[in-house]
Amino acid sequence: MAHIDLGVDETLFPGISGPLRYRPETAKPLMELAEVLLRGPHPLTAGERELIAAYVSGLNECTFCCGSHSAFAAAQLDEGMELVDRVRADLDTAPVPEKLRALLRIAGAVQRGGRGVGAELVDAARAEGATDLEIHDTVLIAAAFCMYNRYVDGLATVVPADPAAYADTARHIVRQGYLG
């Protein structure tokens, strides 16, 4: 049970879903931000951007967001959950392109604190072909997911007991997006 009465059956609206229903006027811009960052036109694939969200959520130990965005990434990456699990377990040895690895390192630095993103991380990402847009949006995805993670965990929302719930939601997100 969440710390506050969200006015919904939390088993039907777990994680961020309950708080979003509680405050629809704040839900709209939060979901619009997620839609633009994770699904809008971009040089990084939607799966790669979801992987950044899952990686940061895992570092933040946010069970709901990590489970959700891991499933969303897996549904959109050819290598599926095996790749997501490998990235989360050991970024240094995960089989990802060097550009993505460099961007994930930037995301990890943001998770620890924004000032941890130094010139060396940015230069390393650029050396692997990352554009300013990709660097910008990686920082923004990581920062946004620190906020989303704290929103979910700060209210102690319900986490689905069945991991299959994340896969079900992933199918919806892939088809409809965050606004559908």
Q: Is-above-0.75 flag for pTM?
A: yes
Amino acid at the residue 112:
R
Question: According to the model, what pLDDT value does residue 92 have?
Answer: 97
Question: According to the model, what pLDDT value does residue 63 have?
Answer: 97
Instruction: Give pLDDT < 70 ranges for the chain.
Output: none
Question: How far apart, in whole angstroms, are the C-alpha atoms of residue 121 and residue 105?
Answer: 7
Tell me the per-residue pLDDT of 2-41, one tens digit each, with 9 for 90 and over: 999 999 999 999 999 999 999 999 999 999 999 999 999 9
Q: Are 54 and 73 in contact (CB under 8 A)?
A: yes
User: How many other CB atoms are found less than 10 A from the CB of residue 100?
Assistant: 22
**CB-based burial, 164-179: b 16+ in 10 Å, e otherwise:** ebbeebbeebbeeebe
Question: According to the model, what pLDDT value does residue 1 have?
Answer: 83
Question: How far apart, in whole angstroms, are the C-alpha atoms of residue 60 and residue 84?
Answer: 16
